[in-house]
A and B are shown apart, each in its own frame.
Chain A
Amino acid sequence: MTQQLVIYPLLLQLFLSIILMFSWSKISWQRVISIGGGFINIAISIWLFVYIWNEGIQTVQAGNWAAPFGITFVADSLSVTLVLLTAISGLAVSAFSASSIVVARLKFGYFPIFHFLLLGLNGAFLTGDIFNLYVWFEIIIISSFVLITLGGEKAQLEGAVKYFTMNILASMIFLTAIAVLYGLTGSLNMADLSLKVAAIENRGLVEITAILFLVAFGIKAAVFPLYFWLPASYHTPPSAVSAIFGGLLTKVGVYALIRIFTLIFVGDVFLQDTILVMAVLTLISGGLGALIQNNLRKVFSYLIICHIGYMIVGLGLYTEVAIAGTIFYLIHDIVVKTNLFMVGGLIYRITGTNNIRSLGGLYKEYPLISLLIAIPLFSLVGIPPLSGFWPKISLITAAFTAENWWVIGAILFASLLTMIIIAKVWANVVWKDKVELPKRLNFRYFDKMTNIRKTQLVAPIIFLSLISLYIGFGAEHVQQLSTRVANELIDNQQYIDAVFKTGQNIKP
């Protein structure tokens, strides 16, 4: 029963998508199945998480082909943490989309595609085979293409063309990198690659391959100077779609970067310096970009870029403390960014616009909702003791130990920028006097909705805010988890041993 536990999250999502496809035109069924499936997904992910926490890294060899030959699925602490976070965000977004996405869009298979996206995310986190990772990436991007274009508005299609081009280009570069790596080592299993790449004499070629991976995942993770597709496209689809994109899609790129550069290409000073420079520029340019935007969702899009920088900084410093900071930030960021875009969607439902200049007076009309959205906004800035504060301590400590003053400066500067931006958003949206807008025809305003629909909009935000609060106030637990993940990543022998150990035990 527990032997195949690692692939249960995948099987569940696949099963859900298939079930949902069979109830294609029955929207009310789809809503129930999707939300119910979300709860089951969380249960399975917690089960998997607890199992890995107690038993250590687990693997599943597809078709019982021993380690370097078959496709391996590996669940280490990092993977299961991300699978759990995917389940949490997935549930929140499926509840939110049940209410916020119009029926016309739901009728074109929104929910099945959404669960295919979650399938791809889980697969990417759990696979231990680099070509398999490519395949999961393709599943993710083809689902995201459908989600981003569903509805076919002008802005959506324009955004989709840019999103599409950059993602395909990234995939091609990724494929090229895999080809070169296969030519160099003759292997695709990541644990095996780790051993074989370390033994290659021709370091120049290894470095070029590493740079190809860096560019491919850099485009997906939206780091400087490869992020320009993100602010051009993330604000165009409905908020629920932006929420899952902003929360999880760019994080898959970060996950892949972390995995590749702690397991396969390790200990290269030039690469680490490159990553650090990219991270510092990402922090600054993302923050400055957000400063001048007036559309709420564009502000959030730029903030995604800015905060990707924090995660990459830790990877570039490459010490246990720094990686722990990266992992903590990753955990915090997935929850908060998903929540932020849902908050954007809620504000849009209430007022009918996302332009900061036309917003205002939220506190007078909806004081409780204003207090609620304060939690994700100020968690994002990291006002202690909220969740964004703790990982920055680890990152700054690590940079201080490395005597890297530029990095400390960039981290603090980006924090300051984030605070200015959030203060501006808060003052304009919540405290400013209400701006009278012409009522839009055929638009479902929040106060005209039924109570069930209202709950479906607000409950996910409450749910994720509570998790954000837990990350902030229970920082000790999350720090313990991050330190354990960092330890596994730095001491990658544990991962390699786990992959090969099961290979020997299984008799053909």
Chain B
Amino acid sequence: MEIVLAVMIGVLYAAGIYMILRRSLVKLILGIIILGNGANLLIFLLGRITKGRPPIIPGDLKVFAEAYADPIPQALILTAIVISFGLQSFAIILIKRAYKVVKTDDLDEMNAIDQDS
């Protein structure tokens, strides 16, 4: 299971960065989304995967008797998902506005600001 996830995370990171390096604005956003998903899965994987052991102490015990699933990575991922959701919705609106104003989705043609003014 770990190895599958590790390979998948690698693929997601590679795909995300490749997409960010493309010239199209839409691919840029897709790249950011894919990269974000890769990062979330990475947190999930590095929190160690423990199957079927919820972090709940049985009623007759004071402490955990055996290994349990770490709840923190899931809290982190939840936070990260919410944040990246907000950022991505902003990004989509931004590229829509940018497309309407600049009338191109080619990043290389967005060079008005580099000219002397």
Contacts and interface: CB of A to CB of B under 8 A. Distances in A.
Contacts of A262: none
B91 interface: yes
B117 A165 contact: no
Contacts of A162: 110
Contacts of A188: 72
Interface string B66-107: 000010110010011001001100110011011001100001
Contacts of B35: 169, 172
B36 A232 contact: no
A161 B72 contact: no
A179 interface: yes
B113 A155 contact: yes
Contacts of B80: 175
Contacts of B60: none
Contact of A176 (B39, B112, B114): B39
Interface in B32-79: 32, 35-36, 39, 42-43, 45-48, 70, 72-73, 76, 79
Contact of A179 (B32, B42, B90): B42
B113 A159 contact: yes
Contact of A158 (B46, B79, B87, B102): B102
A169 B46 CA distance: 20
Contact of B94 (A161, A176, A183, A232): A161
A217 interface: no
A168 interface: yes
B47 A183 contact: yes
Interface in A130-185: 131, 135, 138, 141-142, 145-146, 149, 152-155, 157-162, 164-165, 168-169, 171-172, 175-176, 178-180, 182-183
Contact of B28 (A152, A159, A165): A165
Contacts of A141: 87
Contacts of B16: 172
A138 B32 CA distance: 15
Contact of A160 (B36, B72, B94, B117): B94
B102 A295 contact: no
Given A149-B94, A355-B117, A158 B112 contact: yes
Interface string A205-242: 00000000000000000000000000011011000000
B39 A175 contact: yes
A161 B46 contact: no
A235 B28 CA distance: 23
A277 to B, nearest CB: 24
A159 B104 CA distance: 15
Given A152-B101, A176-B39, A232 B113 contact: yes
B101 A168 contact: no
Contacts of A176: 39, 42
A28 interface: no
Contacts of A25: none
Interface in B1-51: 16, 20, 25, 28, 32, 35-36, 39, 42-43, 45-48
Contacts of A493: none
A179 B39 contact: yes
Given A138-B83, A154-B112, A180 B101 contact: no
A319 to B, nearest CB: 35
Contacts of A161: 25, 28, 94-95, 98, 107, 110
Contacts of A168: 32, 87, 91
21 contacts: A142-B86, A142-B87, A145-B87, A152-B97, A154-B101, A157-B94, A157-B98, A157-B102, A158-B112, A162-B110, A168-B87, A169-B32, A172-B16, A178-B43, A178-B76, A182-B43, A182-B46, A182-B72, A182-B73, A183-B47, A188-B72
- Nearest 4 A/B pairs, CB to CB: A183-B46, A179-B43, A157-B98, A158-B110
Interface of A: 131, 135, 138, 141-142, 145-146, 149, 152-155, 157-162, 164-165, 168-169, 171-172, 175-176, 178-180, 182-183, 186, 188, 232-233, 235-236, 294-295, 355
Given A152-B101, A172-B16, A182-B47, 11 more contacts: A135-B79, A145-B94, A149-B94, A158-B102, A158-B111, A172-B39, A176-B39, A183-B48, A233-B113, A236-B113, A295-B116
